Chain A
Amino acid sequence: MSRKAIVCACEDVTVADLETAVARGHRDVESIKRYTGFGTGVCQGKSCLSTVGRFLCDRKVQSADGVSPFTPRPPLFPTELSLYATLPVAEKQADVGGVPLSLRISQPALKPKSPVRSRADVVIIGGGIMGLALAYNLAQRGIKDVLVLEKGYLCAGASGRNGGGVRMQWGTASNISLAKRSIDLMKRFARDLGINIWLRQGGYLFLARSAAVAEKMERATKLHHQHGVKTELMSPDAARDVVPEMSFKDIKLCAFNPEDGVIFPWPFLWGYAQGATKLGVGIETFTSVTGFEVSEGRIRKVRTDRGDIACETVVLAAGAWSPEIAKLVDVKLPNEPHRHEILSTEPLKPFLGPLVSILDTGLYFSQSMRGEIVGGMGNPFEPAGLELGSSSNFLARFSRALTEQLPQAGRVKVLRQWAGAYDVTPDNNPILGRTPGLPNLLQMSGFVGHGFMMAPAVAERMAAWMAEGCGTSDELFTRFTLDRFKSGKLEREDMIIG
């Protein structure tokens, strides 16, 4: 098999690219898809998938039962947004159902046969952006006996499913400063970790339709200025220069920060994972936590389906899955998982600079580095749950909302839709710090669908706080603790979109 042979003609993926992916530790179809980009073009894997399956089998990268096709995401044929806009919208209802009917993030055949190591100073549960960034930062501070447990492949959870938006335009001082620091860290990510994350600072353009939302925007902008974020309030006429193709009908006010932007989420995880591994951190994928051994008010061991791990400290960074894990040790977390759907279109030449979001409805869309329009819109009627299928009602809602704002997008074809879980807390703020009654269980979840952009800064501060003994050195880990929900003094973040 020639190394130069093309495996995926849509994306120019070669046999050599598959070999590199395997050499970097990506051994399952979903991971290799993400690392190489095969199967993400217009044909959606029709011509390449079985070829990759053969490659994995022939090279003995996987046994045949470990070779599964990647999730066949709708549409199976590129379909214009204007066609989806003919679907009826079920108003004020949850987006029922989702395809595929069963997602298999954790497949038994992919589980490593060997047991996990029996001891680690720190066990981090969740190999998403939070857990991996923390592992890297801990190792940099000399805390290297760290083991990260991930039940699926890297990028299986929300970290691999988000739209890649990063912004400083937040509604509370804590979030603004975290996001600012994160964007600084993103700018040097390639230098620090040797992998491109394709940060493109095209700005975020927020739009307000109602007077109430415009007022909220004005308030937030004042706060941004206090913290050195150069958000500019704009009339719809002025904003037309930023996105000339867009309709500004019924828009009252706009806010634009040119330093916000978009990144490509997946390399972020791989970068942190590679960086952490080089420093001695262990990362175990396809490994599930099944329970805990607790004595004298401390977690002594983390139980997994590949054996027990004795440890000093446990960090719960499992995103929307955190409440499920916490339940195993009788800790009740107030987070609730909420499905948020998203889609991606055919790749087009650059035409859209900023990420645009209507603050009233949660509609957002941007153009990725590869040229796709990537966008979503939350449904406030979506019930809590870990359903991650794709619905047709989302297509109906999103395509109508997008074509209202960007009418020519009606002729653009959708290539893929998928869903991820927002990890929603009662005040839209994260849960950090020690767990009451179980001091060596540290919380790191509840980022309400926006954790990706916060992770570099949060992990940096959390590693420093842990290195200093988890005391009161950083107010972040006393302000956002689990017990705040009992005291009832909550500071609400309301610049949540999606």
Chain B
Amino acid sequence: MRRLPQSPRKGAAITVELDGEPIPAIEGEPVACSLLAAGETVFARSVKYHRPRGPTCFESSCSNCLMRVDGAPNQFTCQVPARAGMRLERQNAFPSAKMDVFASIDWLFPKGLDHHEMFAGVPVAENVMAKVARHLAGLGLFPKTEADPRPALEVIRIPVCIVGAGAAGLAASSVLSDASVAHWVVEQDAHVGGRFSLRDPAASKDWKAGPGATVALRTQVVGLYVDAEGKFLLALTGGTRQRLVKIYARSYLLAAGGHSPLLPFENNDLPGIFTAHAAAVLLRREGLLPGSAVAIVGESDAVDETKRLCDQFGVNTVLALGTEGSRVDGGIVRAHGPTHVRGITVTVGAGSKKRVDCDAIVVAMPPSARFELARQGGARVAFSERHRGFVVEANEDGVTQVPDIFVAGDVTGPKSFEQARAQGAAAAKHVVARSEQVGAMR
């Protein structure tokens, strides 16, 4: 993978260590980018079939980029910033990720391996399998050292907590600020703006939360719990010096957006396959070309958007195939390549297939909702046939069946920028009304 010549230098040139070998990197960039730029594409081997794995989503929503970093197992290298001397190790790879002997499991059992029934009750084989399975399973190693002392827990009490600083969350924050309702905005990314900021960086440069809001970037939510004091959001914050924060709010406005769903085509897990979000992160933020010949597949609108992005950066797009939403597989037959994408076969027209050579595939799909937090808080989640995914049940204004849980944006189904902003603002108005009520009761 090449770095874009025109991209601005992000940090100092440093060296990290991958399985003992030096790799050039740029300080502060996600270390996965350093590895990709250095031509390293296989980051690990998968748990069962020892298939090659490489970065896919660039939003810590999959497990394909996990590595052992400085002795800690299963770190998201798509998030961990590169640091001079950092030690990276591939996991589950024997003797090496490029030439893994256990990958033979994958081709020895072309129909897959049914671990429930395989060798069940066959004397000797059964016992041997149990021993082998135990050693094949597991990712990473038990750490050899203790954790550094952790910063103390932070406890916040605030009228409102917004989760997600995308279009919906920011619009909501602005309404709350206008009504002088104090609030926190929790965002997993290092930037505000969500997925629309990656679409239009120029316009999004001025996007921000409402005046007075506390914005916690690089903050991952862990859960929405209840204790003797009431409902609280538990979150992981603080970047490299992680700490837990407990946020007790009277209302929660959940606008966490969505993540890319997986399309089920053969070899859909090959390194070199990226989500549209990942492609946007690589091109816009990290100055990396996803490939020198890129195939874009998925749902029509999302494919068009990614195509425009690729054109803007001069990416050589060899295929842009969008299908309407009802197709599960996006018209893709299979991806080709031993340990990295070398081509893709798609269906074109009635039953005819076409193979296209490429070294990267971008799968562009509408986001699937991050509904988990709302569900933990007691809101209902249903499978929407229209959106072909799970969505939080709420009215148009984002009011759920739970009095203190409001939702907006992609969590109620994929939204346009304007729709997301409108729902965020509408939900925030209900939150303001509730804050006045709750305030009056106290």
Contacts and interface: CB of A to CB of B under 8 A. Distances in A.
Mostly, the B contact residues are loop
Nearest to B106: A12
Contacts of A346: 73-74, 139-140
A393 B227 CA distance: 8
Interface residues of A, number: 97
A43 B261 contact: no
Contacts of A279: none
Interface string A1-37: 1101111011110111100100000000000000100
A193 B390 CA distance: 37
A6 B236 contact: no
Given A4-B112, A14-B112, A51 B145 contact: no
A407 B116 contact: no
B152 interface: yes
A369 B328 contact: no
B227 A194 contact: no
B34 interface: no
Contact of B111 (A16, A48, A101, A411): A16
A76 B47 contact: no
Interface string B258-300: 0111111111110000000000000000000000000000000
Interface in B390-406: 390, 402
A349 interface: yes
Contacts of A71: 375
A196 B126 contact: yes
B112 to A, nearest CB: 5
A351 interface: yes
Given A15-B264, A413-B74, A102 B137 contact: no
Contacts of B111: 16
Please indicate which of the listed interface residues A75, A79, A196, A245 has the most CB atoms of chain B within 10 Å of its own CB.
A196
B46 interface: yes
Nearest to A413: B74
Given A48-B262, A50-B390, A371-B139, A9 B63 contact: yes
A312 interface: no
A219 interface: no
B416 interface: no
A191 B227 contact: no
Nearest to A101: B378
A198 B136 CA distance: 14
B51 interface: yes
Contact of B226 (A98, A198, A409): A98
A97 B231 CA distance: 9
A53 interface: yes
B180 interface: no
Interface stretch (A54-62, A119-127, A160-168): A54-62
B376 interface: yes
Contacts of A403: 146-147
A6 B74 contact: no
Nearest to B129: A196
A411 B223 contact: no
Interface in A84-124: 84-88, 90, 93, 96-102
Interface of B: 46-49, 51, 53, 56-57, 60-64, 66, 71-74, 110-112, 114-121, 123, 126, 129-130, 133-135, 137-147, 150-153, 220-228, 234, 236, 242-244, 246, 259-269, 328-329, 333-334, 368, 370-373, 375-378, 381-385, 388-390, 402
Given A6-B51, A87-B246, 7 more contacts: A16-B111, A35-B116, A50-B390, A100-B377, A196-B130, A270-B116, A347-B137
10 contacts: A42-B66, A46-B62, A46-B370, A64-B384, A79-B222, A84-B244, A86-B150, A192-B121, A347-B137, A412-B142
